[in-house]
A and B are shown apart, each in its own frame.
Chain A
Amino acid sequence: MSNDVWIVAEQKEGKLKKVSLELLGIGAKLTEKTGGSLSAVLLGQGIDSLTEELDGYGASKIFVCDSEALKDYSNEAYTKAIVDLVKAGNPSILLGGATALGKDLFPRVSGRLTTGLASDCVGLTINEEGLLLAERPVFAGKVMVDTITPEARPQMVCLRPNVLPVPEKGSEKAEIEKVAVEINPQDLKATIKEMVKTAGEKIDLTEASVIVSGGRGMGSKEKFKVLEELASAFGEGATVGASRSAVDSDFAPHDWQVGQTGKVVNPNLYIACGISGAIQHLAGMRTSKYIVAINKDPEAPIFQVADYGIVDDLFKVVPLLAEEVKKLKAQD
């Protein structure tokens, strides 16, 4: 058994998901302790160009599984490709993102490999015995559980996106190993015929690292533009959300809704604009890492959960904020 750490890089339609880089970041730290090497597994079709994006984060090798059968995500095909690879390479640790894909894929992979899986983890370390110690929140984040996989290998973990940082990109290049995938698309029990998407290219709220949300205080659909501008100032990973009352007032579509009856999100930064903070909204965003509230009403309950509060007109504050964020980003 090696001491190697592998991560499963995630891509969708030729675009690499950020969680892949987060995985490389923690993977590199883990190899410092285990002494093994770090590798990434990349699956899909026509994805060669993505390897450059994975370069520079400490991976010494990238396994590229390029096949028609892997073009769209398929649980069966991806499982087979990964299981074959793992059986050949015997990594000690296999990491993936606790994304929609990861939550679907990893349980089956772990089943096939008859090993354990710690899902939806927020922290990873190596303990004194050299075992991977995965930290996972349970009971709505009230208790943290440390999970180890003592015997079976690899030690498998799904890591929650946006929890760990993306490290600085270095200059070193990884070795590319093309892996032959022996899957006949006809053998798959389920195939994807068509992908039906909701309108817009908005990234999924649950995967966003920054969410700028508007409430009824926005006043109209058109005025949501200022929030979109702020979100775009933050760049990739930022998106716009809405409170239930904004959705009810038709200021925003339903799939933007954050809250008890919408999406439950936990971005790094949540900016609540003109949202009073009804409990039904708080239930959907209170676990965000940093909460900034902008509201005219100093009594608004949102300030009780906010790390930073601005009592002022959001239409004054948000454009200023957008400008400052752009300036800061320009310095990068």
Chain B
Amino acid sequence: MEITREIFWNVGHWVRWPVYGLGLIVILIFAYGLIKRIRLWRMGKPENRLDNIPRRIGSLLSFGLFHKRILKEPYPGITHLFLFWGFLVLLLGTFLIFLQEDFTKLLFDKIFICGNFYLFFSFVLDLFGLLALIGVILLAFRRYVLKPDRLDNKPEDLIGLILIFLVLLTGFFNEGVRIAITKPDFERYSFVGWQISKLFVSSEASVYSTKILHVVFWWIHLLLAFGFMGYVAYSKLLHLITSPLNQFFRSFAPAGEVKPIPDIENQETFGVAKLQDFTWKQLLDTDACTRCGRCQDNCPAYLSEKPLSPKKVIQDLKDHLTSQAKSLGKGEDAEKEISPIAGNVISEDELWACTTCGACQQACPVLVEVIDKVVDLRRYLVLIESKFSPEVKLFFKNMETNYNPWTIGFATRADWAKDLDLKTVAEKGDVDYLLFVGCAGSFDERNRKVTRSLVRLLQKAGVNFGILGTEEICCGETARRMGNEYLAQILMQQNIELFNKYGIKKIITSCPHCFNTFKNEYHQFEGKYQVFHHTEFLWSLFKEGKLRFKTGVEMTATYHDSCYLGRHNNIYDAPRKLLGSIQNTSLVEMEKTKEKSFCCGAGGGRMWMEETIGTRINHMRIDQVASTGASVVATACPYCLTMLGDGIKEKGMESKMAVYDLAELLEKAL
């Protein structure tokens, strides 16, 4: 007996034609749904995401095919991997059969799924089918029994899971019944079907009824599979298409970069009022989201009971997009007055709760971007509607008059340096590095200590550097993230003019927010510099032997990653290595660390707003520090230093722990 199986066995070869017909209908239904969504994305503004194709393919392979992000969480990761690869292999198998039946056999009367290949083929398909079945059962178990908080259940989830489960189950039963009747020994390789066939041991007498059962299974399987394919375009299953697209069209810009409003002087509207103001990629994001909720699980605002959940933001935008689709479909005037998204679709409280920490984006398996949308919507609130809290108003006013967030005159910006032997770039002229002090380091008494420590470390290492003195102004980071792009660009361009006037090429700063802005955003206005965060720079000085830490500091320390240093700029090691280079210091890690680090609560302008809803984010972080047992928490960011310092005081933990900037600890260890 030849080792193969007859395609369309028992159901009759005539079914080929109705299958073709049905298939065509399903493809049309699918295409109609997909095209409708594509047309919605195309309402957005243009944006080039077709540069760097090889890297995009790489992203598709690693994030899509190999589940790089999904696997970060074992249970949902592995189960999804099973389901994904199971389905992919089954799809490939079906395609091979299609190739054989409709090409090689039809045209050349040749079959290739036979012999040893047939055995291999049968085994692999059964194996992956089984994996997919296990995957779908475990995923359903997780969703409906374990019920993680981050999953919300909609009918489409249940329908999708049931469809997949039934398609797989009927496939196996179909195979089992066939084997039960034909009984070829080599079908042992179809090990799942082989086992099932034992349920249908057919005697001569019952062959007829078993054959009918086979036909029934065959048709149910076919109709379910086609139903599934059609349903894809009208449910969250569309993520089979949109998620890989999103991984392909991902942003390669640094995570911390906020895009400018181009040619701001000549714009008539600012930010995003309605869906059409988003780019097509921003709209695609909403369809790529699978509601997995990992963003929400990592969002400091959500975890501290603020009204913000990144998942909800993206889903609310998606629902808004869908309702727009309905009104477009009805032929209603697309230009008719629609209420703006900010304040209606997404509440103002949600928008102002975001710390732009990027934890959501770091966790998203399909690389949905959130910060850009929050900033765009804030831009609308601030620049078009002038809607912001009194605290934010004071911040803007102070920035406009004194180039710093506080009500302090700009003429006192360099007062911290009075008793230090320090020259400005203007006085010194030829410097290798500019030390950009930043607002907190210039005015805030606590952060001035950090600046002084850093200056002494740099002087000790013989670095030729200067400061801008009273000419320095805010880098523009916070104004930009608060949506005041106009103010931000004024500050940025003014700084760039200043840097260029003094021929600055290399900048050192102790503030990750200044660092990120110089490094990732000043290029938008032709300001290109080599930028070093002080931790990086001090680490290179240590490596070069220009700094020696001879004094041991007895302490158990933990390091709190600044979002703008870590997640947004991938600097995780230098600060830890620096801490490790201090003798007698032992370093312990918090549970939420490195790319999963928990924000201090100050980013995105939150530093300047009251936190009246829910738990304070900095209090939560202090609890996380406390659970490590560390007596010292080291930071490398003035915002984090302030927030953690406040948290320690407010929770009455002064006797248990203290917070220092790395520069301060290193100076102690000199």
Among the 9-residue stretches A26-34, A45-53, A87-95, A279-287, the one with 4 or more Cβ atoms under 8 Å from chain B is: A279-287
B650 near A248 with CB under 8 A, answer yes
- Contact flag A140-B444 (CB < 8 Å), given A245-B650, A260-B608: no
A139 near B391 with CB under 8 A, answer no
B409 sits at the interface (CB 8 A): yes
A301 near B445 with CB under 8 A, answer yes
* B402 interface neighbour in A140, A245, A248, Cβ under 8 Å: A140
A264 sits at the interface (CB 8 A): yes
* B409 interface neighbour in A139, A261, A264, Cβ under 8 Å: A139
A140 near B398 with CB under 8 A, answer yes
List residues of chain A with CB within 8 A of the CB of B443.
279
A261 near B445 with CB under 8 A, answer no
Number of interface residues of B (CB under 8 A): 23
Interface SS majority for chain B = helix
A267 sits at the interface (CB 8 A): no
Q: A280-323, CB under 8 A of B: which get 1 and which 0?
A: 10111011000000000000010010000000000000000000
Closest chain-B Cβ to A302's Cβ sits at a distance in Å of 9
Q: A237-256, CB under 8 A of B: which get 1 and which 0?
A: 00000000100110000000
A142 sits at the interface (CB 8 A): yes
Q: Which of B405-456 contact A (CB under 8 A)?
A: 405-409, 411, 443-446
B526 sits at the interface (CB 8 A): no
A216 sits at the interface (CB 8 A): yes
List residues of chain A with CB within 8 A of the CB of B649.
216, 245
B595 sits at the interface (CB 8 A): no
* A140 interface neighbour in B401, B446, B608, B646, Cβ under 8 Å: B401
Q: How far is the CA of A264 from the CA of B646 in the complex (A)?
A: 21
Give the residue name and chain of the B residue nearest to A285 (CB). Answer: B407
List residues of chain B with CB within 8 A of the CB of A301.
445-446
* B401 interface neighbour in A139, A278, A283, Cβ under 8 Å: A139
Q: Which of A141, A216, A260, A286 has the most CB of B within 10 A?
A: A260
* B406 interface neighbour in A139, A142, A283, Cβ under 8 Å: A283
Q: How far is the CA of A279 from the CA of B405 in the complex (A)?
A: 10
Q: How far is the CA of A301 from the CA of B444 in the complex (A)?
A: 9
B411 near A261 with CB under 8 A, answer no
B610 sits at the interface (CB 8 A): yes
B92 sits at the interface (CB 8 A): no
Q: B329-349, CB under 8 A of A: which get 1 and which 0?
A: 000000000000000000000
Closest chain-A Cβ to B441's Cβ sits at a distance in Å of 11
Give the residue name and chain of the A residue nearest to B405 (CB). Answer: A260
B610 near A264 with CB under 8 A, answer no
- Contact flag A277-B402 (CB < 8 Å), given A142-B409, A260-B394: no
B553 sits at the interface (CB 8 A): no
B609 sits at the interface (CB 8 A): yes
- Contact flag A261-B407 (CB < 8 Å), given A140-B402, A248-B650, A249-B650: no
Q: B392-403, CB under 8 A of A: which get 1 and which 0?
A: 001000100110
Q: How far is the CA of A280 from the CA of B408 in the complex (A)?
A: 11
Closest chain-A Cβ to B612's Cβ sits at a distance in Å of 8
Give the residue name and chain of the B residue nearest to A247 (CB). Answer: B610
Give the residue name and chain of the B residue nearest to A299 (CB). Answer: B445
B646 near A279 with CB under 8 A, answer no
Give the residue name and chain of the B residue nearest to A287 (CB). Answer: B407
List residues of chain A with CB within 8 A of the CB of B409.
139-142
Q: How far is the CA of A278 from the CA of B398 in the complex (A)?
A: 17
List residues of chain B with CB within 8 A of the CB of A142.
402, 409, 411
A279 near B444 with CB under 8 A, answer yes
List residues of chain A with CB within 8 A of the CB of B394.
260-261, 264
Q: A101-138, CB under 8 A of B: which get 1 and which 0?
A: 00000000000000000000000000000000000000
B650 near A264 with CB under 8 A, answer no
Closest chain-B Cβ to A256's Cβ sits at a distance in Å of 14
Q: How far is the CA of A122 from the CA of B226 in the complex (A)?
A: 81
A261 near B610 with CB under 8 A, answer yes
Closest chain-B Cβ to A214's Cβ sits at a distance in Å of 15
Q: How far is the CA of A282 from the CA of B402 in the complex (A)?
A: 15
List residues of chain A with CB within 8 A of the CB of B650.
216, 245, 248-249
B407 near A304 with CB under 8 A, answer no
Q: B374-401, CB under 8 A of A: which get 1 and which 0?
A: 0000000000000000010010001001
Q: How far is the CA of A159 from the CA of B609 in the complex (A)?
A: 31
B407 near A139 with CB under 8 A, answer no
- Contact flag A139-B402 (CB < 8 Å), given A248-B650, A249-B650, A260-B394: yes
List residues of chain B with CB within 8 A of the CB of A264.
394, 407
B398 near A277 with CB under 8 A, answer no
Q: Which of B592-632 contact A (CB under 8 A)?
A: 608-610, 616
Q: How far is the CA of A235 from the CA of B391 in the complex (A)?
A: 31
List residues of chain B with CB within 8 A of the CB of A216.
649-650
Q: How far is the CA of A282 from the CA of B443 in the complex (A)?
A: 11
Listed from nearest, the 10 A-B pairs whose CB atoms lie closest are A301-B445, A283-B406, A279-B444, A261-B391, A142-B409, A283-B407, A261-B610, A139-B401, A140-B407, A140-B401
> 5 interchain pairs (CB within 8 A)?
A140-B408, A249-B650, A280-B406, A282-B406, A301-B446
Residues of B within 8 A of A (CB): 391, 394, 398, 401-402, 405-409, 411, 443-446, 608-610, 616, 642, 646, 649-650
